[in-house]
Amino acid sequence: MKTLFLTYLVVEALFGLGFLFLPALLMGPMGVTLDETSINLARMFGSLIISIPFLLYFAHKSTNLEFKKGVIYCALVYLAASTIVLLIAQLKGMMNSLGWSIVFLHFAFFIWFGYHAIALGKSPSPQRS
């Protein structure tokens, strides 16, 4: 689980900073052209994405299993929704063939987080007093 948190932390930090500071440069290789409105929306998205690495860092360091479960379930919701949105965009031709790498990346993280969610669901919960 620590490897998952650290890997996802790095990926989301890179994308968060990219969307925040250089959205047109980040999306350009995928064939996406941004106007001023979409650049502003991409920067707003980046400001949200950049918070994920902080959450992942604290989850990575935490010994609280319930906190880690919460982070995993939150990531699963985000990754499920983003994979669907990205897949629809890709199928509509809004990105070039490089866009498939982003769809795959989100789907791969969804599977990885899902694996850990299932594994945590099978582990015995600590007794609450």
pLDDT digit string (tens) for 2-42?
899 999 999 999 999 999 999 999 999 999 999 999 999 99
The domain total for the chain is 1
Tokens of 29: 């290789």
Whether residue 88 lies inside any domain: the answer is yes
Nearest CA to 29 out of 21, 18, 13, 43 is that of 18
pTM for the full predicted model: 0.88
**Chain centroid to CA 126:** 29
Whether residue 128 lies inside any domain: the answer is no
* Domain interval for residue 20: 2-122
Residue 93 DSSP one-character state: T
Give me the pLDDT at residue 71, please.
Answer: 95
